[in-house]
Amino acid sequence: MWERDNAIQLRRTASGELLKPQEGSGFTLDEMGMRRALEELNGNPGSAKRMYFPDSRGELQPYLVRERSVMAPELQERYPEIRSYLGVSPENPARRIRFSMSPSGFQGMVSEPGREASGFLEKVPGSGARYLLYRRDQKEALPSAWKCGTRAYREFAKPASSRAAKLVDDQLLRTYRLAVATTGEYAEYHGGTVGSALSAVNATLTRINEVFETDLAISLVLVAGNDQVIYTDPSTDPFGGNFSSEVQTTLDAQIGSANYDIGHLFHRGSEAGNAGFIGAVCSENRKGSAYAATPTPEGDRFDLDFVAHEMGHQFGANHTWSFDSEGSGVQAEPASGTTIMGYAGIAEGNNVAQQGDDYFHYFSIVQIAQYVAGTSCASTTALANNPPAVNPLPDYFIPAGTAFVLEADASDPDASDILTYAWEQVDDGVVTRASFGPQNPSGANFRSLPPGVSPSRYFPRLSRVASGNLTQVSPASGSAWETVSEIERDMTFALTVRDNAPGGGQVASDLVSVRVVSQPDAFRVISQQSTQNFAGGSIQTISWETGATNQAPINCQEVDIFLSLNSGQDFPVLLASGVPNTGSAQVQLPGTATTGGRIMVKASDNIFFSVNQADFTITQQPFVLAAQELEAVGCQPVDAVYDFTYHNFDGFAEEVTLGVSGLPAGLGSGFSSPTVQTDGTDLTLTITNTAAAAPGLYPLVITGTAPGGNFNLPVQLRLTDGSFTAPALLSPEADATDVGLVPRLQWEATQEATSYRVQLALDAGFSGILVDEVVYLAEYQPEELLPDTTYFWRVRPINDCGQGAFGAAASFRTIATDCKTLTAQGTPITISSTGTPTVTSSIFFADDQTVIGARVGLDLSHSYLADLVIKLRSPAGTEITLISNSCAEANDVDATFDADAPSFICGNNPAISGLVRPLGSLNAFDGESSFGEWVLIVEDTAPADGGALNGFSLELCVEGQFRPDADGDGVFDDGDDLCPGTPPGAVVDANGCPVYRFAPDQFDIAISGEKCVGTDDGAIRVTASRSLDYTITIRGNGLDESGAFSNSFELRNLATGQYDICISGTDGPITYEAQCYTVTIGSPDPLSVLVSRSAGGSGIDLDLDGAVSYVVSLNGEERTVGSGPLHLELQPGNNDLKVTAVPACKGSYEASYFSSDSISAAPNPFSDRIGLYLPDIREPVTLELFNTSGRLLYRSARQPLSHNEEFSLPVLPSGLYLLRVQSGQQEALLKVFRR
């Protein structure tokens, strides 16, 4: 019934969305034949029929099809032509098709978890029986203004904390009665009849049930009277735009509140949606308040992004996107998110992807499961389907800046169930595109990905790890949205396991905590960093930086080394396991040829790993000898044995002769077979008479020789005689005291040991052992020990032949600890509602001790708390985030932040209260010094709302004891404090005594500069605002003057220069600290006279500066003027100007100016240059010079810049010449003489 149809040119979905070029598949359907084939199934849900449909890749696959009606029997009977079906693959039960049939045609949704995203089969508009198969990621991005109007409600917010959250595992299918009303606009869009509108509702619900039954074991069935609320006329339907209340009223009136469990309105109109309430199913006066509207109300986007989204709210789920704060506690998808309760494609600037995915986030499933468990209106059907079983996983410490992998361990009693796995980060917090990155202290670093059949997820995905892209900032839509953390923080990941059983799935989960630890270096492979060629079977050295991962708190002692043959897409070849995590190891490459070799080094008992950064080539050899181990141990006199396997390639069939070289004298050898020819043959080499050589490490070479090629396998032989040297303990020294709480235990390495067992106990007899670890280096760092406690420790050497005795034990006593709380002074501090202010408050700790814990007290009032980002900065510069755009419109904080407290849950008022964990990790301060200023930073990121920082306190716990400082002045009571009991906030000196300081405005200092250069008549005058006994010193410029005064002091006759003034004072017994100033006696400004000709040239404009007053003389006429501009009119001819400063010692200025109504020349006679006076300088001037015979000798033209222009003339004989000058409307013929 399905035929390929590649002639479809315009690939547009039913809702009008375009597919990307060359995407999607076209088909033609025999609709009549399909209806006939389905007839025998109608009304017989127990019957099944084998039918073929395209899967998500467009390949025809068989399905066993049954009717799966989404209508109540009465409604189905009235509309027999509208049907819904479920098809399940007989080969793979997880491969399914949900489809509907009606007079409008066929609509389907095909899914196969872990293979491809779901595919959608929809009729091409206006094409008859042509259909388009597409996946959501094949569609072009479509701008959307849709926004869900449902407000978050915190009473259904944060799921209960549990290592094994109960999801959907009670083996019940819950069926809810759904009433869907439609507006007249919706019905008109779908054909204008009740039947055509009901067909569209049926198609939407068919798809929604596939998701709800798989993820939630919830099924929705249209109520018997649903056709009563299908309205076909927009002018008479009961909906005027206030849809939530109108649909609630309509459904209660027409269907009856007792006759439905959940209600919804479908509308054609502007994009919008609102569930009315979060958690409304079964709830009177709330359950029917939801609506969804788009201009094209059909297709996958309407069905899943809009309707399923709003229904998710009705069943109790909040939004999971995080580009803004709702305070729900479940905003764990970065930016827009991509799951059903996200906003993919409609959060402009924050879209993770342009299309959403058809599954619910872990948090959504938890919220819905918790909500429906508290309702009783559903009808339940027992399921034979058993839930999956998940084996709990441990929590982990990993190094910052390092990739990691989480792997599930789950099973299902039902052999036919196909388990799929989703690993999702579930850290709540605001994460926008701008804030996404490796420095983000809260929220999600990794987007949600659709469930897959692999139980593992790599963080980031392996392709990014192989390309070296562990971090990502400001990611674009459609990019990875994955980044490791480069800062210390806690991350939580949820494992969701679906069994994908048809007709009602079961879902199990687990939570894993991953603490990112800040280390000096990341864990990373540093060898094979460039393209290299290696022979198959060769021995290669793998090197990596351990990043202190073999020390506390990570304490990873062994790693496994894997090989990829396809450039890092997967790593199926285990080269070595249980390798000491010391930073280097030798491995043997396989004989398999590849040009895409990559190495992965992964922690054996942890989740972190690293991959080298370049492909290498393995060249194939005719044959290789593949060793199980590259080192054999001979426990003298016992033989040493090498196990290896022979492999040949490309038809190589020659007989290979085996041998060994490098044996110490006296040792014998023998192969299980001296020759080998068959691929896959297991062989042994036995080294005998091992006691004939001294203990030690010997290099050997196992050889294979054939006419067509040779192969050498370098190996090591370790001989040991069973004797051991007891390791000498080095640090801490015996009976050491005040040892840090995370000490590094070190001892002397011994030659015969390959590893060591270190034990730590509280008693000398080691009856209560606290630590019993095998390590490969001669050091070990335990996790944090108890303070002020005596510990005993010892070490014994180990090798493959046995273990030596424990060496002599030693003891040490850890340092005592202490905690102190200080409160900031100067609060409250206003946080303005104007602009985006940042306010700070600081606390100073005078002790220099090692921090082991911090606790922050915060009392803050602020409306709309989501505007705020609050951080704490240590004296070392480390910043951790307490809250960041948290709790939406809720107000105020009155809380104590502690690293080990539970995460905060946004309340009402205050929004955050009690003992709570901050978003960032306060453990980041561990190991830093307490000394210095600790600064609380409150950033208000949006205008309009304001408040106040009412109080800030900081408790630090340190190694050692805080020195006593009862008055909190920073000068210790057991040291230099000579003045105990100073009031809080008082300024003290080094002896702890109060320092009295003058008020900032205590003194007014007036400066008078020199009147003229060199007159030494400058002055300083000091006036006090309060009468006291003052002492003053003035030094500088060769002067050292002291004096006393009570109100004012003046010093005259000062030369130009800089002077330092210091004033101290007494008021009875109080001595004020000296207050000092630096002043400058300035030189007088020089006389400045700027002269410009006024327009028309009949006057001059003067700008005078440098004196208080001036005597101005023009043609002998004097006047006295002040500074500023001055205009003088010129007389015809020459005008003499003189300006003299007052006082006259500042100098004078003299100049002459010519004025005329006509053009004139000067000097006359001239030599080689001549000046012209031009009354009008607005037009270009032309100058022509003639001899007395009228011959033109010189010509020049230019735009004059002033009334007096000078021209250079050619060298001419002495005599009379004629000069013609033209400027604008003026022209002159002048007689001039050359000297």
CA angle 994, 998, 1001 (to 5 degrees): 150
DSSP 461-530: -HHHHHTT----SSPPTTS--B---SS-EEEEEEEEEE---TTS--EEEEEEEEEEE--SS--EE-SS-S
- Mean pLDDT for 160-171 is 70
User: Does residue 1155 have a pLDDT over 60?
Assistant: yes
CA distance 919 to 922: 9
Q: Which contiguous run of DSSP H or E holds residue 421?
A: strand 420-425
Q: What is the pLDDT of residue 146?
A: 62
Do residues 187 and 194 make contact, with C-beta atoms less than 8 angstroms apart? yes
Predicted confidence at residue 147, as pLDDT, reads 66
Position 883, amino acid: I
Q: What span, in angstroms and rounded, lies between the C-alpha atoms of 441 and 429?
A: 9
- pLDDT classification of 150: cutoffs 50, 70, 90: confident
Residue 1056, both tokens? 């130009």
Whole-angstrom Cα distance, residue 865 to residue 891?
5
Look up residue 1144 and give its DSSP letter: G
What whole-number distance in Å separates Cα of residue 408 and Cα of residue 1177?
92
Distances (CA, A) of 118 to 138, 207, 304: 11, 11, 12
Residue (of 857, 953, 934) closest to 896 by Cα position: 857
pLDDT at 1123: 82
Least confident of 54-63, 216-225, 312-321, 474-483: 54-63
Q: What is the pLDDT of residue 144?
A: 62
Distance of alpha carbon 431 from alpha carbon 425, whole angstroms:
13
- At 184, list the tokens: 């007249």
Q: Using one digit for the tens of pLDDT, what is the confidence trace for 289-315?
A: 999 999 999 999 999 999 999 999 999
For the four alpha carbons of 895, 897, 898 and 903, in that order, the dihedral sign comes to positive
The mean per-residue pLDDT over the stretch 748-777 comes to 95
User: What is the fold, at CATH topology level, of the domain defined by 1088-1155?
Assistant: Immunoglobulin-like (2.60.40)
Q: CATH homologous superfamily of domain 731-814?
A: Immunoglobulins (2.60.40.10)
Q: At residue 924, what are phi and psi to the nearest 5 degrees?
A: -65, -20
* The pLDDT value given to residue 23: 83
Rounded average pLDDT over 112-131: 85
Whole-number Å distance between alpha carbons of 527 and 525: 6
Confidence grade of residue 158 (pLDDT, cut at 50, 70, 90)? very low
Do the domains 385-517 and 624-720 sit in the same CATH topology, yes or no? yes
Specify the DSSP element, H or E, that contains 660: strand 656-661
Residue 21 tokens read as 């070029």
802-803 and 817-823: which strand pairing?
Answer: unpaired
Q: Does the pLDDT of residue 332 top 60, yes or no?
A: yes
Backbone φ and ψ of 622, nearest 5°: -60, -35
Share of the chain above pLDDT 90, in %: 77
Q: Where are the beta strands (DSSP E) in 986-1056?
A: 1003-1008, 1018-1024, 1029-1036, 1039-1045, 1048-1054
Of the candidates 1058, 1005, 1007, 1066, the one whose C-alpha atom is nearest the C-alpha of residue 1036 is 1058
Tens digit of each residue's pLDDT (9 = 90 or more) over 770-796: 999 999 999 999 999 999 999 999 999
Interhelix angle 194-216/362-373, nearest 10 degrees:
100
Tokens (6 digits) for 878 = 């480390």
Q: State the average pLDDT over residues 307-324.
A: 97
Exposure letters 189-203 (e unless 16+ CB within 10 A, then b):
bbeeebbbbbbbbbb
Question: Where is pLDDT greater, at 379 or 155?
Answer: 379
pLDDT at 159 over 50: no
Nearest Cα to Cα of residue 218 among 36, 26, 381? 381
pLDDT > 60? residue 732: yes
Nearest to 1184 by CA among 1210, 1164, 1157: 1210
Residue 674 per-residue DSSP state: S
Residue type present at position 69:
S
pLDDT at 157 over 60: no
Res. 10: pLDDT tops 80: no
CATH domain 817-959 topology: Jelly Rolls (2.60.120)
CB 392 within 8 A of CB 163: yes
Is residue 226 classed exposed, middle or buried when 0-12, 13-18 and 19+ CB atoms within 10 A define those classes? buried
Confidence of residue 18 (pLDDT cuts 50, 70, 90): confident
Cα separation of 281 and 633, whole Å? 70
Report residue 227's pLDDT band, with 50, 70 and 90 as the boundaries.
very high
How much of the chain is helix, strand and coil, in % rounded to 5?
10, 45, 45
How big is the CA angle at 823 (ends 916 and 977), to the nearest 5 degrees?
140
pLDDT recorded at residue 161: 45
Confidence of residue 620 (pLDDT cuts 50, 70, 90): very high
| Calpha distance 860→951 (Å, rounded) | 7
Q: Is 187 helix (H, G, I), strand (E, B) or coil?
A: helix
Return the CATH fold of 524-619. Immunoglobulin-like (2.60.40)
Q: Indicate if the pLDDT at residue 569 is higher than 60.
A: yes
In the block, which residue shows the tokens 């139980």? 455
Strands (E), 243-306: 262-268, 272-274, 290-294
Compute the average pLDDT of residues 130-136: 90
Which one of 3.40.50.1370, 2.60.40.10, 3.30.56.10, 1.10.645.10 gives the CATH number of domain 1003-1081?
2.60.40.10
pLDDT band for position 1138 (cuts 50, 70, 90):
very high
C-beta of residue 742 within 8 angstroms of C-beta of residue 776: no
pLDDT at 155 > cutoff 50: no
712 near 755, Cβ under 8 Å?
no
- Answer whether residue 751 shows pLDDT above 50: yes
Are 262 and 178 in contact by the 8 Å Cβ rule? The answer is yes
What's the average model confidence in pLDDT over 1050-1057? 93
Q: If pLDDT is split at 50, 70 and 90, which confidence band does 19 have?
A: confident
Strand (E) or helix (H) holding 460: none
**What is the architecture of the domain spanning 1160-1234?**
Sandwich (2.60)
So what's the pLDDT on residue 429? 92
State the residue for tokens 């040949």.
648
Q: What is the mean pLDDT of the chain?
A: 92
Q: In the CATH scheme, what is the code of domain 624-720?
A: 2.60.40.10
**Which residue matches tokens 């990829």?**
564
Q: Calculate the alpha carbon distances from 266 to 25, 245, 294 in Å.
A: 29, 14, 9
Select from 3.40.390.10, 3.90.420.10, 3.40.50.300, 3.30.300.340 the CATH code of 160-373.
Answer: 3.40.390.10
* Per-residue pLDDT band at 575 (split at 50, 70, 90): very high
Domain definitions of the chain by residue range? 2-138, 160-373, 385-517, 524-619, 624-720, 731-814, 817-959, 1003-1081, 1088-1155, 1160-1234
List the structure tokens of 724. 């051991």
Q: 385-517 has which fold?
A: Immunoglobulin-like (2.60.40)
Instruction: Identify the pLDDT of residue 160.
Output: 42
- Using one digit for the tens of pLDDT, what is the confidence trace for 798-852? 999 999 999 999 999 999 999 999 999 999 999 999 999 999 999 999 999 999 9
No. of H helices and E strands in the chain?
9, 79
User: In the β-sheet with 745-747, what is the strand arrangement from edge to edge?
Assistant: 729-731, 745-747, 779-780
Quick check: 99 and 67 in contact, CB under 8 A? no
* Helix (H) / strand (E) containing 314: helix 308-314
